[in-house]
Amino acid sequence: MAARRWLARCVAAALAAAVRCNAGEPALGAQSQDALRSAGPQASQVLDLWLLTLGICTAVFAAILVAFVWALWRAPRASAGTPADTTGLTQVEHRPRRVVIVALGASTVLLFVLLVASVSTDRSLAQLVLRDAVHIEVTAHQWWWSARYDNEEAAKTFTVANELHIPVGRPVIMTLRSDDVIHSLWVPNLAGKKDLIPGRTATLTLRADRPGVYRGQCAEFCGAQHAWMAFLVHAEPAAQYEAWVARQREPAATPVAERALRGRQVFLQSTCVMCHAIGGSGAGGQRGPDLTHLAGRTTLAAGALANDAAHLAAWITDPSAFKPGTNMPGHVLPPDDLQALVAYLGTLE
C-alpha cells in the first residue's frame, strides 16, 4: 500500500505539468468537475490507482514501441523480388522464441500486479468508514435530480432538488433510484459513478475532505436533455452545513411584500402546483423539483441556467428555449403576473 502510494506520487509529479496545461480551467472551488483533482478519499484512491496504472502502461507501451522501432530501423531493406527466407518453417528459431516467452512472462506478471492493485483499491473503496453518515435518497428523473435527506425522525426529513449540501469530513450514503430511465450519478471530484436503474436500488458512498462546489453530471444517456442534467454538491464545514439543514427543514415563509404575495397567489392558482411543491404554501406537486428553497440555489434547471430573476422569468415562459424537450411546459403569463411570481420565488431562501 505504501509502496504503491510512493510510486503513484512519483508518477504524479512527472505528469503534473501535462495534466494542468489546459487553459481556461476553473479553480477548485468554483464548480469543478474533474476526476484528476480529488477532494475526497474515494476519488483519491482511484486517482492513486490511475497514476500507478498510467505508469505501468506507459512503461510497457514505451518498451513495445522501442522494440518495434528498433526492429524496423535495424532490418535490412528488401524488394518484392527478394527471395523469402523460409527457414522458420522447418527449423525452430530459438532466440526469438526465448525473447517472446520472457516478454510474455513479464507481461503476465504486470497484468497480475494490475489485477491485485484493482482488487485492493476496490476493497479500500468499500471500506469507507460510515459512522455518523448523512443519508440521502436520490431519485433521478428526466432531466433533474431530487434528493431527500433522511432522518430517524420523520419530521426532520426534507427534500431538495439538483443541489446538495454535504458536510466536510462526514461520510454520505446515497441511496439511488430512478423514476423513469437509467441515469448515472457522477461527481468526479468525489467518487466514481453509479447507475440509477428503475426497479433497482443502488448505493453510493463518498466523503468530501475539502470544502468546495463540485459539479456532477448524469453519465448514462437518458434522452433529449442528458447533456443538461447536472447537479452541484456543496461541501461545507459542519456549522455551515447544519445551518443549511435547519433552513431546509423550515417551510417557506409567507411573503410580506405585496408583489410577492400576489406572486404566491399566481403560483397557487396556476399550473405550477400540478408539479411543484413549496412547503408551507399548500402546493404539494411531486412531479417537478421542490421549490421551497429555490432562491438558495445557484442554478436553475439542473445546472443549465444561473439562478437570477431574468433567467427565471425566461425559463418559466419557455423552458424549451433552454432545454428543448424538457417536460416542463411553457407558460405565457401577463407581464405583471410573471414579475410577481418571480419576485415571490426570489423570497424562497
Partner 1 sequence: MNTTSEVDLTARNQVPPSEADRQALEATWRDPAGLVGWFSAINHKTIGVRFIVTAFGFFVAGGLLAAVMRLQLARPQNTLVGPDLYNQLFTMHGTTMMFLFAVPVMQAMATYLVPLMVGARSIAFPRMNAFAYWLYLFGGLMLYIAFALNIGPDAGWFTYVPLAGPDFSPGKRVDFWAQLITFTEFSGLLEAVIVITTVFKLRAVGMTLNRIPLFVWAMLVTAFMVMFAMPAVMLTSTALILDRLVGTHFFNPAEGGDALLWQHLFWFFGHPEVYFIFLPGLGFMSAIIPTFVRRPIFGYSAMVLALIATAFLSFGLWVHHMFATNLPELGKGFFTAMSLMIAIPSAVQIFCWIATLWTGRIHLKTPLLFVLAFFFILVLGGMTGLMLAMVPLDLQVHDTYFVVAHLHYVLIGGAVFPLLGAIYYWYPKITGRLMNETMGRWNFWLFFIGFNTAFFPMHLLGMKGMPRRVYTYPAGMGWDTMNLVATVGAVTIAVSMLLFVINVWRSLRHGQVAGDNPWGAGTLEWATSSPPPAANFDALPVVHGREPLWEAAPEPTQVRGMATGQREVLVTTVVDARPDHRSVFPDSSIWPFISAVATTVLFVGSIFTPWAVVWASVPVAIALTVWFWPRRGETEREMLLEKSP
Partner 2 sequence: MMRIVCLLALCLASLTACEREQRRYNAPASPASPASDAGLSRMGPFQPGPAASAASGASSSAPIASAASAPASAASTSLPPTSANPHEENAVAVAEGKRVYRWYNCNGCHATGGGSLGPALMDDEWLYGHEPQQIVATILQGRPNGMPAFAARIPEDQVWKIAAYVRSMSGQLRSDVAPSRSDGLSAGPPEQRRDKETPKPAAPGKDH
What residues line the site for partner 2 (CB under 8 A)?
180, 198, 224, 265-266, 269-271, 273-275, 287, 317-321, 324-325, 327, 329-334, 337
CA dist 288 and 104 (Å) reads: 57
Residues in the chain: 349
Collect all residues with Cβ–Cβ distance below 8 Å to 84 and sequence separation of at least 6.
none
CA dist 280 and 283 (Å) reads: 8
Residue (8 or 140) nearer to partner 2, CB: 140
Residue (117 or 181) nearer to partner 2, CB: 181
Position 83 contacts partner 1 (CB under 8 A): yes
Residues 110-139 that bind partner 1 (CB under 8 A): 111, 114-115, 117-119, 121-122, 125-126
* Rounded least distance, CB 285 to partner 1, Å: 21
CA dist 33 and 187 (Å) reads: 7
* Rounded least distance, CB 151 to partner 1, Å: 24
Answer for the pair 53, 114: CB distance below 8 angstroms, yes or no.
yes
Residue (32 or 146) nearer to partner 1, CB: 32
* Rounded least distance, CB 106 to partner 1, Å: 10
CA dist 84 and 308 (Å) reads: 76
Residue (124 or 270) nearer to partner 2, CB: 270
Collect all residues with Cβ–Cβ distance below 8 Å to 348 and sequence separation of at least 6.
252, 278, 291, 292, 293, 294, 295, 296
Residues 171-230 that bind partner 1 (CB under 8 A): 180-182, 184, 186, 188, 191-195, 197-203, 215, 217-227
Region binding partner 1 by CB under 8 A among candidate stretches 5-13, 46-54, 256-264, 275-283: 46-54
Report helix angle 309-317 to 335-346, nearest 10: 130
* Rounded least distance, CB 306 to partner 2, Å: 21
